[in-house]
Amino acid sequence: MSNLDAYRSAGNPLFNENKLKLGIFGPNCSNACAITLAETTFEPTFEKNLEIVGMLEDAGFECIVPIARWRGFGGPSNFNGNCMETYTWASALAARTQKIFLFATSHVPTLHPIVAAKMATTIDRISKGRFGLNMVCGWFTPEMEMFGVKMMEHDNRYEYATEWVQVLEKLWTEKWFDHKGEFFAINQGFSDPKPYQKPRPVLISAGSSSKGREFAARFCDINFSVVEDVEKGTKWVETMKKLAWEQYKREVGTFTYSYAVVRDTEKEAREYFNYYVHEKGDWEACDNICKVFGVQSGSYTPEYFDKFRENFIAGWGGYPLVGTPEQVTDRLVDLARTGIDGTLISMVDYNHELPYWNAKVMPLLEQAGLRKPLTKSAVAA
């Protein structure tokens, strides 16, 4: 039995039979993934999030992934600066939902694994096995250095994360243990109760460097990456599966993230895209992010730089879904051709746009064979 078979047989929605699983990304943060000052009814409040998860559960979405953020990116919007902490967010939602799979996104350097293991177990048990951890190492230097420590070098961060997750797994599966490593010394490690999920809660990671992918293949159940096109996406899916299986005899799922602007006509969709990106985009916040990534105008052609920023403002550089319900379905059919398991989706205004998505796009995804129709019992459950 592979690591994922245990979740499949337990009926975990993340590993259900839908060919393309769906989630949303970042509703705990102001503006989620769109770096814009465009008007929106969405706010990162618990009340708005409850409204959103209600719509997601009704339509059969599989999961929600929050963003871990401790400060904003500046600019007039201070993009993502107003946000809810993700473990406490997931815990509250766990108590108010029935079906959807919830994640906390955890910056591993900011939290001791004994605390993380206990909090994760608590949420996993409250949700009856609908909780997982998105492990991130931190890359936004001012955010990590706000904690008063120097940010580690890139590959060292994954060394740290490796020991962090090894301690976490021991706390989740062993009775008593001692651990002495490079970063942690655990004396008589103990954590009870154990998680609801067996052998442990789902772990995911979005590492995209070779060290990051190695980490995902070794410890995670799903790896996230940007998909630029079908060809590159297919190659990444194959590489990840091969890496996990050949090196660690493990199965790893693959997800990406997309941004959606769906309207009755392509013209309306393009006009709104133009409005929130070009007229109302917070280009200053975007440039602050680009600087940290080292994507600056000097190092690329002006065309590449402008395209990169446009896509970043639109949805953190995700896979574009802009057009009519039919066009967006075609794009998702293409995406599924990579062999990917699912995608998160972001929208400028989740509260306002999700009803349209659920009414117009979901039935087309079913017709296209990407998703199974919701059964009455699943809706009522």
Where does this chain bind ligand FMN (CB under 6 A)?
67-68, 105, 136-140, 206-209, 212, 224, 257
- The Cα 6–Cα 29 span in angstroms is 32
Least Cβ distance, residue 206 to ligand FMN (angstroms) = 3
In the bound state with ligand FMN, the residue whose beta carbon lies nearer, of 289 and 354, is 289
Least Cβ distance, residue 91 to ligand FMN (angstroms) = 17
Token digits of residue 344: 């998160």
- The Cα 109–Cα 151 span in angstroms is 9
State how far the alpha carbon of 257 is from the alpha carbons of 23, 103, 119, 149, in Å. Answer: 9, 15, 26, 31
- Residue with the CB atom nearest ligand FMN in the bound state: 212
Least Cβ distance, residue 332 to ligand FMN (angstroms) = 17
Least Cβ distance, residue 116 to ligand FMN (angstroms) = 15
In the bound state with ligand FMN, the residue whose beta carbon lies nearer, of 217 and 362, is 217
In the bound state with ligand FMN, the residue whose beta carbon lies nearer, of 33 and 354, is 33
Token digits of residue 335: 């995406």
Least Cβ distance, residue 257 to ligand FMN (angstroms) = 5
In the bound state with ligand FMN, the residue whose beta carbon lies nearer, of 36 and 258, is 258
- The Cα 65–Cα 26 span in angstroms is 6
Least Cβ distance, residue 259 to ligand FMN (angstroms) = 12
Cβ within 8 Å of residue 105, ≥6 positions away: 65, 66, 67, 68, 86, 133, 134, 136
- The Cα 346–Cα 137 span in angstroms is 22
In the bound state with ligand FMN, the residue whose beta carbon lies nearer, of 269 and 312, is 312
Least Cβ distance, residue 174 to ligand FMN (angstroms) = 27
Residue 284 · residue 370 · CB < 8 Å: no
Q: What is the 8-class DSSP label of residue 197? A: S
- The Cα 357–Cα 365 span in angstroms is 11
In the bound state with ligand FMN, the residue whose beta carbon lies nearer, of 87 and 140, is 140
- The Cα 272–Cα 322 span in angstroms is 10
Q: What is the 8-class DSSP label of residue 281? A: B
In the bound state with ligand FMN, the residue whose beta carbon lies nearer, of 113 and 207, is 207
- The Cα 168–Cα 170 span in angstroms is 5
Provide the pairing of β-strand 202-205 with 222-224: parallel
